[in-house]
Amino acid sequence: MEGNALNREPGRQWAWLIPWFSGGFASLVSNVTGADRVSFFVVGMTAGTIWQLLFRRDLASRLTFMAVVVTVGVVATLASRREFVWEDMNTAGLGAIGILLGLIYTEHYLRWRDRTAERRPTETIAEPRR
C-alpha cells in the first residue's frame, strides 16, 4: 500500500490545490453566513472529501510531508524560546481537522464500497449455443 490506497494509481495530482485554497473559500462562506467555526469545519471536510476522491492515496503517505513541516515548526518554536501565537487558530485549526476527517471518512467509504463490490457474485453471460 506504499503511496496508493488499495494499489490504485492516483488520478489527479493537482487535487492538493483544493485543500490549499479551502481556507480562502471558508473565509468567504463565513463572511456570508456569519458562522466562522462551522464554515471552516464544513468547508474543510468537503475539501478533504473531494481531495481523497480525486487523488486517492494512503493517508500516512499523504500526510507525511505535513507532519514533517509541523514537527520542524514546533521544534523551531521551542528552540527560539518565544511564545507562538496564531490568531486564527480557532478557525484554521477547525479547517485542518475538517480536511483530515474528510480524507479519512472518504477513504473508509471507498474501501467499504470496494469490499462490497468484491463480495458480489460475478454474473457470467452464457454464450448462445450454435
In 10 A of CB 35, how many CB atoms?
12
Residue 14 pLDDT grade (very low, low, confident, very high; cuts 50, 70, 90): confident
pLDDT confidence bin for 74, thresholds 50/70/90 = confident
Express each pLDDT in 46-56 by its tens digit.
999 998 888 88
| pTM, to two decimals | 0.63
Query: Per-residue pLDDT tens for 32-48?
Result: 988 888 888 999 999 99
DSSP state of 87: T
Nearest Cα neighbor of 91 from 15, 17, 28, 16 is: 28
Reported as a pLDDT band with limits 50, 70 and 90, residue 1 is: very low
Find the distance separating the first CA and the last CA of the chain, reported in whole Å.
47
The stretch 78-103 carries a mean pLDDT of: 78
